Amino acid sequence: MPELPEVETVVRRLRAPLLGHTFSGMRVEWERMIHPSALEMRKLLVGQSVEAIDRRGKYLVFELSGQDDLIIHLKMTGDLQVMPSSVPDHPHDRVVFCLENGDQLRFRDPRKFGRVYLTQDPALILGQLGPEPLDNGFTEDEFLALFERRSGRIKPLLMNQEFIAGLGNIYADEALFLAGIRPQRRADTLSGDEKRRLYRAILQVLWRAIEQKGTSLTDKTYRGGQYQQQFLVYGRLEQPCLMCERPIQRIRLGQRSAHFCLNCQR
């Protein structure tokens, strides 16, 4: 599933071709991903123009000229591209938004898990998300306050979108390595210094990944990302740790894997 850096990369890529343009139509090939119905969304969307494109956690948020926001979650395999209407459809194009200039915004999603919402109240969809880790107002003290009455394993906690928004499997592994904390540690055993290291590590990993346009793995869904070339632990099972040369380990935590170094993460 794309994490914060990949979604941020998509947001930045879409701003130039979409801002100021008006939706003139909409074609839906997979109605289950549309909320409300495709018929109602088409009726409300046409005639509205895109005034801003931002991100909230792993959601893309399009602020429109009317009273609505278009909100899209890419889920596991979704991607958004702007292209001329003359380009032939791809078999995995699930939703096509037509623009007044002849271009189209195409939501491609091979596994059909993505979601598209049109709403006048974004809080109905985004209200349960935790704080944005890259917001200027998200301070070290605010991060430490999140741990009050938290006792679960630290890696699943970091991936809980109600705890902090945008982190997933890759960047939780990388941040925990930089902070020197094992992924199976219980949150209530972390010292204040460890939490502060983790706060700084999360910011460092996310900004580095955004600079590299996120991560492109073998499915090629996200084009151009280079952060996979800088992985410290994720996906490096049995390879030597880049700090101490001991082999990277992997365990299962819940339904996900976790990569770490036994020596560097104590």
What is the model's pLDDT at position 219? Answer: 55
Strand locations in 157-255 (E)? 249-253
Active site annotation includes 3: yes
| 131 a catalytic residue | no
CATH number assigned to the domain covering 4-126: 3.20.190.10
Helix 192-211 / helix 169-179 crossing angle, nearest 10 deg: 130
Which candidate in 2, 5, 133, 156 is catalytic? Answer: 2
Stretch 179-190: mean pLDDT, rounded?
98
pLDDT digits (tens, 9 = 90+) for 112-134: 999 999 999 999 999 999 999 99
Which tens digit of pLDDT belongs to each residue from 70-104?
A: 999 999 999 999 999 999 999 999 999 999 999 99
One of 150, 153, 196, 256 is an active-site residue; which one?
Answer: 256
* Whether residue 46 has pLDDT greater than 70: yes
Q: In this structure, is the dihedral angle defined by the CA atoms of residues 169, 174, 175 and 176, taken in order, positive or negative?
A: positive
CA–CA dist 64, 81 (Å, integer): 18
The predicted-structure confidence for 149-174, as pLDDT tens digits, reads as follows 999 999 999 999 999 999 999 999 99
Span 244-259, mean pLDDT? 95
The CATH code that applies to domain 140-260 is: 1.10.8.50
Q: 3-class DSSP state for residue 106?
A: strand
Dihedral sign of CA atoms 166, 168, 174, 176 in order: positive
Q: Does residue 59 register a pLDDT over 60?
A: yes
pLDDT at 254: 81
- The one catalytic residue in 58, 106, 108, 195 is 58
Q: Parallel, antiparallel, or unpaired: how do β-strands 23-28 and 93-99 relate?
A: antiparallel
What are the start and end residues of each CATH 3.20.190.10 domain in the chain?
A: 4-126
Is residue 75 flagged as an active site residue? no
End-to-end Cα, the chain, rounded Å? 28
Structure confidence at residue 1 (pLDDT): 77
CATH 1.10.8.50 in the chain: give the residue spans: 140-260
Mean pLDDT (whole number) for 183-205:
98
Report pLDDT for 222. 60
> Residue 225: what pLDDT?
85
> How much is the pLDDT for 221?
56
**58 noted as active-site residue:** yes
From the candidates 3, 6, 8, 174, give the one annotated as an active-site residue: 3
